[in-house]
Structure 1
Amino acid sequence: MRSRHMVSAHATRTRARQRARDWAEIQERMLVPLYEAVYTRLDVGPATSVLGLGCRSGLALLLAAARGAEVAGLEPEAELREIAQDRALRVLSDIYRELSPGHTASHSLVTAFEHLSCTADPASLVRDAAALTTRGGHVALAVWGPEERCESAPVLEVAHRHGGFDVFALAAPGAVESLITAAGLRVAGGGRVCCPYAYPDLDSALRGLISTGAFDTAAEFAGERQVEKELREALFPRTREDGSVRMENVFRYVIAERVR
């Protein structure tokens, strides 16, 4: 007979695999306009070597590869990394293998599309991105736009009030630029992109949002059932007569250049 610990560990792995699939099948596509805007801005193509930090299941890398770029990624979550690898992408588990002694920066573009707004140390992430970028190459950083321009703000507040990250902290004017300057990079432009969060029904919306990881801390603090209850309440105003859910959002990207 299996021990309670073994059953619990199995259930945890099962939930992690399901959440990774929910990200890949439901949520990941919401940020395609952001990925494409950055790649178009930087003319990503056969001459570009792209490294995605926190690449998750790898859709952004697939889009870069479709433009002819050489791509690789770093993703700490094993379940997401497995999906990316199943997509024939080269994805490692942590950044320190790339930053090992004697390593030479070899990527002309390093991206952080999802992780910057929900990491405990954004300054360290930007420094690491700079170290992995070739001289003359670029770092692309993405964050949420102004809170008042994002209809998902009340939903994200569920996470914040239960101890999660304030994903809008880096939306303040100059916040990302200060991280770039501190990392020894030069600000080289940016833009805003509309990325609607659209789901066929409420259950898909819940699964997609939970798959982002933004509500993990809240679930640990308040319990999964309470978080799901509050998410349903927050999503209700964005639920249409046909049962679909849609929230208009603005994301911001900033391009930095490594000049030395």
Structure 2
Amino acid sequence: MTPTLVPHHPARDWAEIQERMLVPLYEAVYDRLGVGGASRVLGLGCGSGLALLMAAARGARVAGADRDHARVELARERLPEDVAVTGEAPECAPYDVVTAFHATDALLPELATVTRTAQPGTTVVLAGWGPPERCATEPVLRLAARLADRRPVGGLGPDLDALAAAAGLRPAGSGRVACPFGYADEASAVRGLLSTGAFDEAVRATDPSQVEKEIEEALAPYVRPDGTVWMPNVFRYVIARTP
């Protein structure tokens, strides 16, 4: 099998290919919280803004923050001009819902700031991968660790409950949502998975074309007869409150 060797534009690939895979997660959380016209939603790690756009479509007032400046620029392109999307989290007090749909341990400083500055009882949602045995993408993501010459640790993402506790948040519920990853073809799957950031360390550590080749090989079990790629996954979210 030959490597894909497609131009890799991580932020745009995320916006055009990968971000939509988590629409069921966004919808499930917004439905459970009753996000609507009276809601004020702040998205931490908001990416290119799709989750914010969906909240705004429900009538919510929204704002976002993300450390990836390229994704921030794309979010500004797709969101209304009056929506603030910045590289640093804004003052948390005006918001009653704070989301971290792509929670990582690196987000702890921002979450601790939310705990310290948001109004008491503010809802905070952390989301990430579900149990590895329920995620078809797990072997592909384990490949990222191997290519980066490091040992995978624990599950596919952070312990959401531990992350909430470390930020000083009070648990208030949790849930799971099916978020299958579906791609038009293997090339789109490779671009989408590379855009997640999971392979950034591997790309720096080895030949990028080799990384693409090994991702394609790992995807083989999920390629259907028509050439599309289908990977069933489950994501988990935790609902917490500020003290």
Per the alignment, residue 92 of structure 1 pairs with: 86
Q: Would you say the 8 A contact 2:134–2:234 is kept in 1?
A: yes
| Unmatched 5+ stretches in structure 2 | 1-6
What is the Cα deviation at residue 170 of structure 1?
A: 4.5
Q: Would you say the 8 A contact 2:138–2:156 is kept in 1?
A: no
What is the Cα deviation at residue 168 of structure 1?
A: 2.3
| Unmatched 5+ stretches in structure 1 | 1-14
Kindly indicate whether residue 29 of structure 2 is the aligned counterpart of residue 42 of structure 1: no
Q: CA separation of 1:166/1:36 partners in 2, compared to 1, >3 Å: closer, same or farther?
A: farther
Please give the residue correspondences for 1:1-260 in structure 2 after superposition, counting only pairs within 5 Å. 18-87=9-78, 88=80, 89-95=83-89, 98=90, 103=91, 105-114=93-102, 116-117=103-104, 119=105, 121-131=106-116, 133-163=118-148, 168=155, 170=157, 175-259=159-243
Q: Distance in 2 between matches of 1:93 and 1:189?
A: 29
Q: Would you say the 8 A contact 2:179–2:233 is kept in 1?
A: yes
Q: Would you say the 8 A contact 1:107–1:132 is kept in 2?
A: no
Q: CA separation of 1:54/1:166 partners in 2, compared to 1, >3 Å: closer, same or farther?
A: farther
Please tell me the residue identity of whatever aligns with 1:245. Answer: V
- With the length of structure 2 as denominator, give the TM-score of the two structures: 0.88
Please tell me the residue identity of whatever aligns with 1:229. Answer: K
Aligned length: 232
Per the alignment, residue 3 of structure 2 pairs with: none
Structure 1 residue ranges (4+ consecutive) displaced by more than 6 angstroms after TM superposition? none
Q: Secondary structure at the match of 2:120?
A: strand
What is the Cα deviation at residue 130 of structure 1?
A: 2.5
Q: Would you say the 8 A contact 2:180–2:233 is kept in 1?
A: yes
Q: CA separation of 1:84/1:236 partners in 2, compared to 1, >3 Å: closer, same or farther?
A: same
Q: Which has the higher contact order (CA 8 A, sep 6+)?
A: 2
Q: CA separation of 1:169/1:197 partners in 2, compared to 1, >3 Å: closer, same or farther?
A: closer
Q: Distance in 1 between matches of 2:116 and 2:18?
A: 30
Please tell me the residue identity of whatever aligns with 1:140. Answer: V
Q: Secondary structure at the match of 2:121?
A: strand
What is the Cα deviation at residue 159 of structure 1?
A: 1.2
Moved more, 25-34 or 179-188: 179-188
Per the alignment, residue 8 of structure 1 pairs with: none
What is the Cα deviation at residue 122 of structure 1?
A: 4.8
Q: Distance in 2 between matches of 1:83 and 1:40?
A: 26
What is the Cα deviation at residue 254 of structure 1?
A: 0.2
- With the length of structure 1 as denominator, give the TM-score of the two structures: 0.83
Q: CA separation of 1:51/1:167 partners in 2, compared to 1, >3 Å: closer, same or farther?
A: farther
Listed one character per residue, the Cα deviations across residues 20-51 of structure 1 (whole Å, up to 9, x for unaligned) are: 22111111110000001111111111221111
Q: Distance in 2 between matches of 1:245 and 1:104?
A: 40
Per the alignment, residue 5 of structure 1 pairs with: none
Q: Secondary structure at the match of 2:124?
A: strand
Q: Distance in 1 between matches of 2:110 and 2:133?
A: 26
